Amino acid sequence: MTFADPDAQEGTARPTPPPSRWAGWLATGVAALTPLVAYIGHLGYAPVIALVGLLSLPLFFRNRRPDPGQGLLLALVAWAVISMAWSIAVPAHPDFHTYHGVESMTGVKLVLQLALYGAFVAASLTLSKAAGARTSLVLTIGLLAVSVLFLLEAMFKAPLYLWYRAAIGQPQRPDWALRDVAGVSYVLALLFWPATLRLERPRWRFAAGAMAAATVIGAWLLNADAPLAALVVSTLVFAAVRLWGRPALMAWMGVLALYFLAAPLLVHALGPGPLIHPAADDIREQSWAARLDIWRFAASRILERPFFGWGLDAARMFSPNIPLHTHNAAIQIWLELGAVGASIAALFWLWLGGRIDALEARDRPLAATAAACASAYLTIGALSFGVWQEWWLALGALSIAACAALAAARRGGDFQDPSFSGEGSESRRPEDPAPPP
């Protein structure tokens, strides 16, 4: 599961799957729905991506061999399921006879999500150049539109969203409506970079700047700190990779390994005392102080079972110290799956970083976009949401598909930026063979 298959163009390992018209229209349909789902309720990404994955299943094994990334994800899910044997969150006699009983079994859902979300990602790798261009354009136009709507809703206290909820018979409290609208910023922060690269033409750069401004201002007005942090981190990663290429990617991969393998130790290094003394009326400071308390408590529990962890879904059993999850992906994986799960997760992200590094040899702007998109996902995951939440995993699959569509659109060089020829999009490392004509 990667954005493009460098080996295919260099004439070595795996052949690129033949383009699929069915996959192209499925991808375009998802792109058209993305801004709508972001606005009316981001939880909807789980059923949308699952349905498209189900429709993509016939393409899953189409002229493709399993790659290490799929194997690592399979290993992580398998270990999560195995950990249910000692998990403190799994009932002794699970109920498989009711929807609620099955829905509460995270292990069962992870197996299904791996199959369905994986099928969707695999289908996105079969897009033709025309389908990739169409999909990325539809996605970019939709994100531009929803960013403007997001800013207006943030400025005027979500009047349209309140009207919509009343119209469907589910009126919402004004403060909760603002919280729901703030969810749009997570989608915009995550998919900002694929859209920005699609707009990288002199006449369209203003639109990219407007989308960035709308996202930043709206997120700030709605106290959505995680998307703001994601935009800052991903901007630094994008700029570093675009300017320096492979050395920046190597450094980035080192940071990824440190994050997943040493997260509990980094938290312990903060010490036991409070780093933030929040004012009574400062929501942002209170939120950050609460996160630090959660991470410290979780790190202490990790030391009690460092190798195998407390089992899948165990984080929700430490209430009130941990409200449902740890608000940090690496710490939650350590807490529930131990060093074994954290090592598998680190290997997967390092593998993905290696595929982005291979991509950098022939299209540096696209590699910078992919690294920035991954950084945004990891940053938000390090500050918000549970690592196993269905909609969040679905949005991760969608981000890979968005980069895959952009890669298909740029196939052949039509979208290359001439200003980077010689050191970026057209550059190759000396040891890389020249691509075929």
Whether 435 shows a pLDDT value over 70: the answer reads no
Instruction: Tell me what the mean pLDDT of segment 375-397 comes to.
Output: 94
Dihedral through CA 133, CA 139, CA 141, CA 146, nearest 10?
-170
Instruction: Tell me what the mean pLDDT of segment 142-149 comes to.
Output: 96
Whether 425 shows a pLDDT value over 50: the answer reads no
What pLDDT sits at residue 140? 96
Whether 62 shows a pLDDT value over 50: the answer reads yes
Instruction: Tell me what the mean pLDDT of segment 40-68 comes to.
Output: 85
What pLDDT sits at residue 21? 85
How far apart CA 31 and CA 96 sit, in angstroms, is 35
pLDDT tier for residue 201 given thresholds of 50, 70 and 90: confident
Say which residue, 141 or 203, is predicted with more confidence: 141
- The reply to whether omega before 433 is within 30° of 0 (cis) is no
Whether 436 shows a pLDDT value over 60: the answer reads no
Average pLDDT of the residues of the chain: 85
Q: Which of 336, 357, 352, 331 is nearest to 261 (CA)?
A: 331
Q: What is the pLDDT of residues 208-247, one digit of tens each?
A: 899 999 999 999 999 899 999 999 999 999 999 999 999 9
Angle between helical axes of 68-83 and 106-124 (0-180°, round to 10): 170
Phi/psi zone of residue 271: left (φ > 0), alpha (ψ -120 to 50 degrees), beta?
Answer: left
What pLDDT sits at residue 17? 59
pLDDT tier for residue 384 given thresholds of 50, 70 and 90: confident
Q: What is the pLDDT of residues 409-422, one digit of tens each?
A: 998 665 544 333 33
Q: What is the pLDDT of residues 160-185, one digit of tens each?
A: 999 999 999 999 999 999 999 999 99
Phi and psi at residue 418, to the nearest 5°: -60, -25
Instruction: Tell me what the mean pLDDT of segment 401-429 comes to.
Output: 61
Which of 137-151, 254-268, 394-408 is predicted least confidently?
A: 254-268
Q: What is the pLDDT of residues 369-380, one digit of tens each?
A: 999 999 999 999
Say which residue, 324 or 431, is predicted with more confidence: 324
CB neighbours of 364 closer than 8 A, spacing ≥ 6?
241, 242, 245, 420, 423, 424, 425, 427
